[in-house]
Each structure stands twice: as structure tokens, then as C-alpha cells.
Amino acid sequence: MAYPGGPAPHLPDSGLQPASTTGDGPPYAAAYESLTFPYLTRGRRELSVTLAAQPVFDLIAQRAVSRRVRRIIRHKGGERALLGRRTLEPVDLRRIDLLTLGHGLDLLRLNSEDSGVLPAFWRTAATSHGRFALLYAGLQHQSAPAMLLLEIMGGPEVAGVEALAEAIGHLQTERLNVILHVAPDADLIAGMDGTGAHCLAIDFAGVDQTGARGWEEATRLIAAARQAATQVLILNLRPESGPAAAAAGATHAVFAPMESLTV
């Protein structure tokens, strides 16, 4: 099954395990399954956490090879929680991560040969207690896949290379690996060399993906990421941008929903 926009150039094999439940239609057009669970913080604030399952597309193999859980945390009234401003305490972030692992693996319904991507906060992964909790919750779940990939959010923006490398080194096992989520900043991305992350994830929601001029910056971001990691996962990639992203060095993508679809 070819990905939208035409064939991709040959690049090294991604090494990710193909997902066994990709559906009958094009993976990028699949409606996202989702679930929402409530959470009461230690400060008695009521939140809702929504998890949505997204297909991860291999730009080289031209097929869906995994599923990723996207997480959105909102206040009870619907306002999105401002996690970047440290509005939640570390204990709440850790508990939300553990609940996300449990509910997320249930949502993905992976078998023993699949791989799945679930989010985790850097403030959880940065501590030995948090890392142990992530390892135990992820690997002991009854639906634990062949390879669980933790997408660490918020680390590169606040932590140095040594701290990132230490955390990643402790989290990498035979059945668990790390994807490092990094902001679309070429200088920041270039600094991730030495962290030990095999894959960097970059959100292209705010990156211009139209025309040659727009792709100049996108190409710089992808090139910087490939210098720092062997795999590059582009989030919110426009379907027609698949060939250009692959040519620039990206290996995987979560495609942005097309306007004609209801998701």
C-alpha cells in the first residue's frame, strides 16, 4: 500500500514491527479511536485526559507499522491544561503517565508482535522513581507489545544532553525504547546528538509545508534530526508531503487529518 503523494525513495529499514491491525483503508485516513478518563489532582483540581490512537506510517516501507497515542489534558471546563507552565505537580504528572500507559495499551489493543508509542512526561522520566514506575507499568501490562516506545515530552527544552542520556539509557531494554519529542528548532534538534535516542519526533503542525520555500525550513529540521538520530518521526505531516519528507530523511510520519475527513 503506497503512502499518499507517490512512492518514497529507498532508505534504510526502520526496524519497527508492523502493526497487525491497520484496517482495510489507507492508514492515514483511518478514524482515530479515543477514550477519555477523569483525573483529580493532589490539589483537588478536576481534569480530563483524552487519548487518541493514531497510525504511524513508515515512509520507506509505505505502510502503517505502529500506532501512537496522542494525549490531551484539559481542565473540567474544557480549557486545555497549560502543562508547559508547570501547573501540575510531579506526582500528578507521574500518575497521569501511569494511567495513560494502562488505558493507552488497552486502547491500542496490540498483540505480542506489535509495537506501540505512548507519551510520558520528562519530569517523570527524569527521576529514578518515575523511570521504575514507567518500566513496571509498561512491561507488566497484560497487553504489553513486543516493543513499547515511550515518547518523552518536554525534555530537550529544559534538560541538558547528559541528563537526557542518563534517563534514556535507563529506559532502554529489550522490549522498551525511547522516542525523544523535540520542538521544531534546528539548533535545539542538533544538540540532541549524544543523548542516545534512536528516534526523534518533531511536530510539524506549525511548520510551513507548502511550496519550495516552505520546505526549506522543514528540510533543515529533518536533516538536523537525522544527524542526531537514526529515525525521525514527523507528526502532523500533510499527506501530500510524504515524498518530500522521505527525500529529506524522515523515516516515519503521523499524517495530519485531511480536511475532507471527520476524525
DSSP string, 138-204: HHSSTT--SEEEEEEES-TTTS-HHHHHHHHHHH--SSEEEEEEE-S-HHHHHTTTTS--SEEEEE-
Q: Does residue 34 register a pLDDT over 50? A: yes
Q: What is residue 32's predicted lDDT score, i.e. its pLDDT?
A: 73
Q: What is residue 150's predicted lDDT score, i.e. its pLDDT?
A: 95
The CA angle 113-116-118, to the nearest 5 degrees, is 155
Q: What is residue 28's predicted lDDT score, i.e. its pLDDT?
A: 55
Q: Can you read off the three cell numbers belonging to residue 53? A: 490512537
* Cα(260)–Cα(106) distance, integer angstroms: 29
Cβ neighbour number for residue 228 with a 10 Å cutoff: 18
* Cα(117)–Cα(148) distance, integer angstroms: 6
Per-residue pLDDT averaged across 15-23, rounded? 38
Q: Are 134 and 150 in contact (CB under 8 A)?
A: yes
198-210 tens-digit pLDDT: 999 999 998 988 8
Q: Does residue 24 register a pLDDT over 70? A: no
In the three-class reduction of DSSP (H, G, I as helix; E, B as strand; rest coil), residue 90 is classed as: helix
Q: What is residue 139's predicted lDDT score, i.e. its pLDDT?
A: 76
Q: Does residue 188 register a pLDDT over 90? A: yes
Minimum mean pLDDT range among 79-88, 156-165, 180-189, 212-221: 79-88
pLDDT band at 147 (very low <50, low <70, confident <90, very high): confident
Cβ neighbour number for residue 36 with a 10 Å cutoff: 12
pLDDT band at 94 (very low <50, low <70, confident <90, very high): very high
Q: Where are the beta strands (DSSP E) in the chain?
A: 33-40, 46-58, 63-75, 115-121, 147-153, 176-182, 199-203, 231-237, 252-255
Query: pLDDT averaged over the chain?
Result: 83
Q: What is residue 3's predicted lDDT score, i.e. its pLDDT?
A: 41
Q: What is residue 31's predicted lDDT score, i.e. its pLDDT?
A: 55
- Choose between 28 and 103: higher pLDDT: 103
Minimum mean pLDDT range among 31-35, 187-191, 238-242, 245-249: 31-35
Instruction: State the pairing for strand pair 115-121/63-75.
Output: parallel
Minimum mean pLDDT range among 8-12, 160-164, 231-235: 8-12
**27-255: which CATH topology?**
TIM Barrel (3.20.20)
* Cα(157)–Cα(178) distance, integer angstroms: 17
- Choose between 40 and 32: higher pLDDT: 40
53-77 tens-digit pLDDT: 999 999 988 889 999 999 999 987 7
The CA angle 71-77-83, to the nearest 5 degrees, is 40
Q: Phi-psi category of 128—alpha, beta or left, where left has phi over 0 and alpha has psi -120 to 50? A: alpha
What is the sign of the dihedral through the CA atoms of 181, 184, 185 and 189? Answer: positive
DSSP-assigned beta bridge partners for residue 180:
152, 200
Q: Does residue 41 register a pLDDT over 70? A: yes
Q: What is residue 229's predicted lDDT score, i.e. its pLDDT?
A: 95
Q: Are 231 and 199 in contact (CB under 8 A)?
A: yes
Q: What is residue 175's predicted lDDT score, i.e. its pLDDT?
A: 86
Q: Are 221 and 200 in contact (CB under 8 A)?
A: no
Q: Does residue 90 register a pLDDT over 50? A: yes
Q: What is residue 258's predicted lDDT score, i.e. its pLDDT?
A: 54
Q: Can you read off the three cell numbers belonging to residue 194? A: 549524544
Domain ranges of the chain: 27-255
Q: Are 211 and 174 in contact (CB under 8 A)?
A: no
